Amino acid sequence: MPADNLIVGLDIGTTKVCAVIGEYNEQGSLEITGVGLCPSFGLRRGVVINIESTLRSVAQAIEAAEMMSGREVGSVFTGIAGAHIEGINSRGVVAVTGRGREITKEDVDRVIDAAKAVVIPMDREVLHVIPQEFIVDDQGGIKDPIDMIGIRLEAEVHIITGSVTSAQNLLKCVNRAGFRVNDIVLQSLASAQAVVSSDEKELGCLLIDLGGGTTDVLVHLDGAPYHTTVIAVGGNQVTSDLAIMLKTPQDAAERIKKESGCCYMPLVESDEEVVIPAVGNWPAQAIPRKEICRIIQPRMTEIFKLVKEQLQKKSYLGMLGGGIVLTGGGSLLAGTAELAQEVFGLPARVGYPARFGGLASEYQSPIFATAVGLVLYGAASAAADRYETGPTKRTGEGFIVKLRDWMKEFF
């Protein structure tokens, strides 16, 4: 954790950059004291395509959060997304070597290292290795095997990999904006920290983070991640559909989507109308709100069906006792939870970040789920570094060290 006791989450998205500042109060509780939001320029579908535009958006978002909190930011935890993200499950096996066959932290580290020894292409790097369960002498379902007696220790882990160059470009943007990156974290993991309860994770839960350029998907079973993917379709496609079908500019289509959009027809009253603004010599006109819904609903249904197909291939769909949690800016579209419930046949809700004191009204929105989750991730990481208890293995730290070395070498 930074010396000044601040933990800063930086969510660099396709449509917006969010910065959230958390700090500990006198009672030792984490409070959100600063929130900054800035339109994002320079990203396409979660990946940096223009360094200068992105770093300006980053600097403006953090500056807005600094002004609100009255504190100066030095380092951040930043999220990463994009279609290059992949998750795989792996298993490792080692013999217990401690005195009296007692399992130690060294044994746990060795078995996780064995589990992550998978072959990945040269242009990819491991972002996270997250233990799902440990197995001691064929006894499964163990979350923390330290101090148990055994001969053979196995670990089931979820490995998340991403493009090295995408992470390097992200790091470069933040560094050139004047800030240090503590860690790079998968955005859906961060969002889950903020909006998914531990009970939902234990029961089996699907998180769908509906962003502007991408849709992030994360499946928790028995409290641990089992499936991670990013679909390169998001809310921007909905806006484009409206702009094309209504023959109106993108900014007007975005405003119509936010103010009058709905993606579930039964929620729309038959006599509701929406005014389409004038364009050029064409006058403004009023159309039924049902027409807006007829444009939006097929695209949202397509996104949900793409997610559903993936879960059906992995046979996870019948294991989601905790239902579906929707978050991100796209989840604010009216009817999103109802449509998801119809497509998946499972209970669905919109996930809002939990209250952490401070400026609750400022960050109580799905838009800030990832940034708030990054603050929580940073707080948990700091606690793990201080106390080093349990089978915590933060390989993201090693990844960020490699990226820093790369930056020093070339810049």
In DSSP notation, 174-235 reads HHHTT-EEEEEEEHHHHHHHHH--HHHHHH-EEEEEE-SS-EEEEEEETTEEEEEEEES--H
Would you say 365 and 355 are in contact if contact means Cβ atoms under 8 Å apart?
no
Residue 286 within any structural domain of the chain? yes
Residue 60 lies in a domain: no
Q: Specify whether 109 is located in the same domain as 218.
A: no
What DSSP string runs through 20-60? EEEEE-TTS-EEEEEEEEEE--SEETTEES-HHHHHHHHHH
Helix (H) or strand (E) holding 327: strand 324-327
Could you tell me if 341 and 201 lie in one domain? yes
Q: Is the pLDDT of residue 45 over 90?
A: no
Q: What is the pLDDT of residue 4?
A: 55
Winning range, highest mean pLDDT, from 34-48, 165-179, 275-289, 340-354: 340-354
Question: Can you read off the two tokens belonging to residue 225?
Answer: 């991640």
Position with higher pLDDT, 197 vs 356: 197
Q: What is the DSSP letter of 132?
A: E
Instruction: Identify the pLDDT of residue 308.
Output: 95
Whether 265 and 297 have beta carbons less than 8 Å apart is answered as yes
Domain closes at, from 298, 328, 350: 350
CA distance linking residue 113 with residue 124, whole number of Å: 17
Range of the domain at 332: 197-350
Question: Is residue 26 scored above 90 in pLDDT?
Answer: no
Do 108 and 218 lie in one domain? The reply is no
Residue 386's pLDDT band, with cuts at 50, 70 and 90, is low
Residue 113 belongs to a domain: yes
Other CB atoms within a 10 A radius of the CB of residue 93 amount to 12
Domain CATH for 112: 3.30.1490.110
Q: Answer yes or no: are the C-beta atoms of 292 and 260 closer than 8 Å.
A: yes
Query: What's the total number of domains in the chain?
Result: 2
First to last CA, the chain: 25
CATH, residue 322: 3.30.420.40
- For residues 188 and 81, the answer to whether their CB atoms sit within 8 Å is yes
pLDDT averaged over the chain?
87
pLDDT 10s digits, 157-205? 999 999 898 888 889 889 988 899 999 999 999 999 999 999 999 999 9
Same domain as 342, residue 231:
yes
Residue 213 tokens, joined? 């350029």
**Looking at the structure, do residues 243 and 151 belong to the same domain, yes or no?**
no
Give the pLDDT confidence score for residue 399 in this predicted structure: 54
Which residues are registered as beta bridge partners of 17? 12, 38
Residue 385 located in a structural domain = no
H/E stretch holding 134? strand 124-136
Neighbours of 182 (CB within 10 A): 23
Judge if 204 and 334 occupy the same domain.
yes
Give per-residue pLDDT as tens, 238-277.
Answer: 999 999 998 889 999 999 999 999 999 999 888 888 888 8
Give, for 91, the enclosing helix (H) or strand (E).
strand 86-95
pLDDT in tens, 53-78: 888 899 999 999 999 989 899 999 99
Range with the lowest mean pLDDT among 29-38, 59-68, 359-368?
A: 359-368
